Amino acid sequence: MMSKMKAAHEFLLRHRVGFTWALPALWMGTLLLPTSGDAPWKYLIICLLAFAFALRTGVLAFAARCYRIGLVWFLAGAVVLILNFAKLYLDTGLVDSSGRREVSIVEAIYFSLVTWTTLGYGDFAPPADIKIYAALEALLGYVYMGVTVGVTVSLIGSFTQANKTVQTDAVRSAADR
């Protein structure tokens, strides 16, 4: 147990993720940025940079076998990205069967989650002026799901390989006796 904690600590120091609050604070700060007028593209550039950082850190943590850190970064990246797009939809409104209207925070998060996972139920749609942002969110959801599946399959493979190695060593040890 102690060696895992030491490995996690070394990973954090090596990749400068230890107590660096600047980027997460910047990312959460995007929730406070205005999204009307010409601000959405500036807002989303910050979101994309922070998203790329979270994905990179999560993958590096998994590669260093710091699974809890990687999981936290993956989950935090997904949640904050979904919430940031929800804020965009909250500020700009959505289109439903009755036309364009303002939405509640719950409806904005719902639409963001449905868009991010590319379910697309069709009960809401983005207004014409932010369709590109909804498409970008769906694309990021695809990338995120792909990376998550790839990392998961890789982890399962490494655990399976490690288990086979342990079993082989145990059989050899028993045969040597």
* C-alpha–C-alpha distance, residues 165 and 177, integer Å: 19
Q: Between these two residues, 71 and 1, which has the higher pLDDT value? A: 71
pLDDT tops 50 at residue 18: no
Total domains present in the chain: 1
Torsion of CA 87, 88, 90, 94, to 10 degrees: -150
* C-alpha–C-alpha distance, residues 117 and 78, integer Å: 10
DSSP letter for each residue of 34-56:
--STTHHHHHHHHHHHHHHHHHH
- Residue 89 lies in domain: 2-170
Confirm whether 78 is domain-assigned. yes
Confirm whether 22 is domain-assigned. yes
Confirm whether 176 is domain-assigned. no
Tell me the per-residue pLDDT of 143-158, one tens digit each, with 9 for 90 and over.
888 887 887 787 777 7
Tell me the per-residue pLDDT of 85-136, one tens digit each, with 9 for 90 and over.
888 898 889 999 898 999 999 999 999 999 999 888 889 999 998 898 899 8
Q: What is the pLDDT of residue 164?
A: 67
42 is written with which tokens?
A: 């500036």
Q: What is the pLDDT of residue 22?
A: 47
pLDDT tops 70 at residue 69: yes
Q: Between these two residues, 133 and 67, which has the higher pLDDT value? A: 133
